[in-house]
Amino acid sequence: MTNLEVQKQFGEAVNTGQLEKIRDLVAQDVKDHDPAPMQGPGPQGFIDFFSMMRSAFPDLHIEVKHVVTDADNVTFAYTVSGTHQGEFMGLAPTGKQFSARGVQIGRFENGKLKERWGSSDELGILKQLGAERIPQ
């Protein structure tokens, strides 16, 4: 399986909620250079983070807009969207929809995600949901 195929399967796992598939796609000793504040280590950290996101936004969807690859890396720009139906960063459900952009770089070894760098417009998400104050 190519690195791009691994990345696509990761995205499918997130979009469908079949998060346990992430265990087969992420190295145990993965280094996330930009983890979410509550994200733990390894594949379980990704599973826990996306479980929280899907709890807050059951229709969470990541749509890849542009991809660049080389022998070891997959870089992509994406749009993430969803409807706020569960608590998110201390914000009670609002029923509002959001759409935000982000970029991620993944380095792969032996068919698994080994390192990740990335950023999503978290402030934009909170503003679209109507947050009056930004959680620290």
pLDDT tens-digit series, residues 73-92: 999 999 999 999 999 988 99
109 phi and psi, to 5 degrees?
-140, 135
Lowest mean pLDDT: which of 7-16, 36-45, 95-104?
A: 36-45
pTM for this one? 0.93
Looking from the CA of 45 toward its CB, the CA atoms found within 13 Å total 18
**Residue 30 is encoded by which pair of tokens?**
């993965």
Determine, yes or no, domain membership for 136.
no
Domain that holds residue 106: 3-129
Determine, yes or no, domain membership for 134.
no
Q: What is the CATH number of the domain that holds 34?
A: 3.10.450.50
pLDDT of residue 135: 60
pLDDT of residue 136: 58
Percent share of the chain, pLDDT over 70: 98
Determine, yes or no, domain membership for 135.
no
Determine, yes or no, domain membership for 91.
yes
pLDDT confidence of 69, banded at 50, 70, 90? Answer: very high
Determine, yes or no, domain membership for 60.
yes
- Number of compact structural domains in the chain: 1
Determine, yes or no, domain membership for 8.
yes
Determine, yes or no, domain membership for 114.
yes
